[in-house]
Structure 1
Amino acid sequence: MADTSSIREHMEVVGADGVHLGTVDGIEGDRIKLTKKDSGQGSHRGHHHYIPASLIAEVDGDKVWLSANADVVADEFEEEKNDPT
């Protein structure tokens, strides 16, 4: 598992291509939890999305860089339906 100890709430998560994917809400196990604010549109709205920590390439300043481009990561978002938080 990637080292998530330097990842903090409100950090920006970007793909390898520099495209914004979301904002860190927290770390849950081996996943980055994104804020609902960055939940997307349509069926993606209103719940948290999760990104596996295995996709973390680097933590640099206030950004979490991933090892894959944003469109690839967005297709692989883990979602929780009926997320009460």
Structure 2
Amino acid sequence: MGHESNVREHMEIIGADGVHVGTVDKVEHHRIKLTKKDSGAQIEGAEGSHAGHHHYIPLGLVAEVEGDKVRLSANADVAVTFEEEESEG
């Protein structure tokens, strides 16, 4: 692993297939926090309730960090199934 220190704010997150998954807001608790604008609103099949709050992707899905991109080890459509929603509360 060891990618946590290399992931920075505003980096693009892409799946192994090169498809845009989201944009890094920040890293917290060994997870990548996506910006709200990238939290499900544009993902095919996502429900409207996913928009407007943060989602997280586990750092364990990061295959590599190259330039301004975080490349995941899973394709985008699979990676979004690992997303966790921000807990209310």
Q: What is the TM-score with the length of structure 2 in the denominator? A: 0.86
Q: What is the TM-score with the length of structure 1 in the denominator? A: 0.90
Stretches of structure 1 that go unaligned for 5 or more consecutive residues are none
- Aligned: 1:78 with 2:68: no
Query: What is the number of residues matched between the two proteins?
Result: 83
Residue 75 of structure 2 corresponds to 69
Residue 65 of structure 2 corresponds to 59
User: In percent, how many aligned pairs have the same letter?
Assistant: 67
* Structure 1: 4+ residue segments shifted above 3 A: none
- Indicate which of 41, 50, 54 corresponds to 1:48: 54
Stretches of structure 2 that go unaligned for 5 or more consecutive residues are 42-47
> 1:82: how far off?
4.0
Amino acid paired to 1:8:
R
CA-based RMSD of the aligned residues comes to 1.4
